[in-house]
Amino acid sequence: MVARPGGAPRPARRGPGRLRRAALLGVALGAAAAAALALALSPPHASVPDAGVALSGLVLVEPGGARREGVALVARDGRIASLDAAPVAGASDRYAGCFLLPGLIDLHVHHPPAAAVGQRELFALLFLAHGVTSVRDVGAFDVGLGRHRARIEAGARLGPRVFACGRIVDGEPAGWPGARVVRDAASAEAAVAALAREGADCVKTYNGLDETSLRAVQAAAAARGLPVLAHVPAAVPFERVEGVEVQHLMGLANDWQGATEESVAAYVASSAAHGVSHTPTLVAFARASALGRPARAADRAARLLPRAFRERIWSPAHNPLLHLLSPDGQFGALEGRVALMQRAVSALREAGVPVYAGTDTMNPFVVPGASLHEELRLLAASGFGPEAALAIATRRAGERLAVPGLGRLEPGAPADALLFREDPTRDLAALDTLEAVVAAGRLVRRDDLLAAAARQRAHFDAFPYAPLFDAAARAVIRATAGPR
């Protein structure tokens, strides 16, 4: 302090250089604190094996296609180099006798927000641990998946191939934060153009669009070769929906309890006539039907995710958003909706309408990877049977994603494959006999994937991560649903 005239002290003047240095020091300290927090929140990463596979003595099974014994698989540079019966020098017989199938594809997932630091990697490990080697994210609510996808593609992280729609396209007011709002043809063009620039693989439309806006979005997407995945907007009668992939069998019945065989037949006929395909996500409703039952908290699959999912995010007592599924809280009644949806899926199959496999993670108790196994069982029980259900989640899904060879076992195809002790095309219970996964030409044992996921889960359930994540979950629920 410098004395003022009369003895009153006054602050010493600081030159601009000192102010700049102080500001830079503050920024540096803030950045260091943020880096330290990020380091503390970041989970232990799974080790990534080297690329390249050579295995002999396998039984090749293409669901709905070829079946050959004594096959040797060779993968290089992320692609299948050969699938021959002839011996391959240096090939391992460790998995001799195992059934070799294409990797599974989940066409309807949502990843955790980027603010849930590290949990996208946990989802990736769980997808792979259940044989899911490709996923399609159908709507982000915050930071996109570009960085996550790039790390997997570069071999820095283990995970499935990621396809993504980017931000949801909705009318006004938007149903979810972060949606791109479309009001007319001009804003539809701008929204789809922005998604294309950001590298979106598809366009996801939501409930609030009117018919004119929906058609404008479809036109803009078609001009860029992007498929449209649709919630059927409330303002658009289903019989006027054309050329989209409908999610959750929306438009089947506003009052599903009052649905009739005639209404199901009309829904199927309209789908066939107007080029509409379906990803029903049966498992999402089957799992929601058990909300509030104490046994669900002890569900083995649910315990693969951090505790906050079971105790906060998927708890009707703590998350009022769940009551959107059943406003009166009678979640068990959703079993009737699942039964209706299965009847519709059976009719769609008989009519030749394309049906795809998707799960809708992160809905209640819809666990990455494990939920696709359940979806396949529900599809099989809807008339497809085990082998056709697996074909839906492999070859047919690869065709939908328009990647040559994806979902198939053939030279030049992406090297995504699964090794089972038993043949799941005969009985889907054999999905639990998965021994190892080949993802983009990297061989990983299932036990190693589960062990890596367990280490991450322990990290997420411990201090300092657990209380911060719980507080963030409470804040998001409050902001979206209001106080409770």
pLDDT of residue 296: 59
Q: Is residue 461 part of a domain?
A: no
Q: What is the pTM of this model?
A: 0.92
**Cα Rg of the chain, angstroms:** 25
Q: How far is it, in rounded angstroms, from Cα 303 to Cα 300?
A: 5
The least confident of 8-17, 46-55, 302-311 is: 8-17
Q: Which tens digits make up the pLDDT trace of 208-239? A: 999 999 999 999 999 999 999 999 999 999 99
Which residue carries 């992280």 as its tokens? 157
Confidence category of residue 293, pLDDT binned at 50, 70, 90: confident
Asked whether 194 and 180 are in contact (CB, 8 A), the reply is: yes
For residues 445 and 35, which has the higher predicted lDDT (pLDDT)? 445
pLDDT of residue 295: 67
Q: Which tens digits make up the pLDDT trace of 101-124? A: 999 999 999 999 888 999 999 999
Q: Percent of the chain at pLDDT above 90?
A: 76
Confidence category of residue 32, pLDDT binned at 50, 70, 90: very low
Q: Which tens digits make up the pLDDT trace of 401-423? A: 999 999 999 999 999 999 999 99
pLDDT of residue 294: 66
- DSSP-derived secondary structure letter, 167: B
Q: Is residue 411 part of a domain?
A: no
Q: Does residue 14 have a pLDDT over 90?
A: no
Q: Is residue 25 part of a domain?
A: no
The stretch 25-32 carries a mean pLDDT of 44
Give the contacts of 297 (CB within 8 A, at least 6 positions apart). Answer: 310, 311
Within 13 Å and on the Cβ side, how many CA atoms surround 184? 1
Q: Is residue 183 part of a domain?
A: no
The least confident of 233-247, 257-271, 365-379, 465-479 is: 465-479
> Own/partner pairs for 325-333, CB < 8 Å, 24+ apart?
325/285, 325/288, 325/291, 325/364, 326/288, 326/291, 329/292, 331/288, 331/289, 331/290, 331/291, 331/292, 332/289, 332/290, 333/257, 333/289
Q: Does residue 24 have a pLDDT over 70?
A: no
Q: Is residue 226 part of a domain?
A: no
User: What total number of domains does the chain contain?
Assistant: 1
Structure tokens of 305? Answer: 């995710």
Q: Is residue 370 part of a domain?
A: yes
Q: Is residue 371 part of a domain?
A: yes
Tell me the residue range of the domain where 379 lies.
103-164+237-405
Q: How far is it, in rounded angstroms, from Cα 247 to Cα 206?
A: 10
Q: Which tens digits make up the pLDDT trace of 136-176? A: 999 977 778 999 999 999 999 999 999 999 999 999 998 88
Helix spans in 356-438 (H): 370-379, 385-391, 397-401
pLDDT of residue 37: 57
| 369 Rama sector, left if φ>0, alpha if ψ -120 to 50, beta otherwise | left
Q: Is residue 16 part of a domain?
A: no
pLDDT of residue 31: 45
Within 13 Å and on the Cβ side, how many CA atoms surround 247? 23
Q: Which tens digits make up the pLDDT trace of 43-98? A: 999 999 999 999 999 999 999 999 999 999 999 999 999 999 888 999 999 999 99
Structure tokens of 30? Answer: 């803030």
pLDDT of residue 1: 35
Task: Report the mean per-residue pLDDT for the chain.
Answer: 90
What is the sign of the dihedral through the CA atoms of 213, 216, 220 and 226?
positive
The stretch 367-383 carries a mean pLDDT of 98
Helix spans in 43-94 (H): none
Q: How far is it, in rounded angstroms, from Cα 209 to Cα 222?
A: 18
> CB atoms < 10 A from the CB of 254, how many?
10
pLDDT of residue 27: 46
Angle between helices 211-223 and 185-197 (to 10 degrees): 40
The least confident of 158-167, 250-259, 428-437 is: 250-259
Q: How far apart are the first and last CA of the chain?
A: 53
pLDDT of residue 273: 98
Structure tokens of 312? Answer: 């906060």
Asked whether 347 and 268 are in contact (CB, 8 A), the reply is: yes
Q: Does residue 451 have a pLDDT over 90?
A: yes
Q: Does residue 18 have a pLDDT over 60?
A: no
Confidence category of residue 446, pLDDT binned at 50, 70, 90: very high
Structure tokens of 294? Answer: 């104490």
Q: Percent of the chain at pLDDT above 70?
A: 90
pLDDT of residue 352: 98
Residue 384's H or E segment, with its range, is none
The stretch 25-29 carries a mean pLDDT of 44
pLDDT of residue 175: 84
> CB atoms < 10 A from the CB of 461, how many?
14
pLDDT of residue 68: 96
CATH number at residue 150: 3.30.110.90
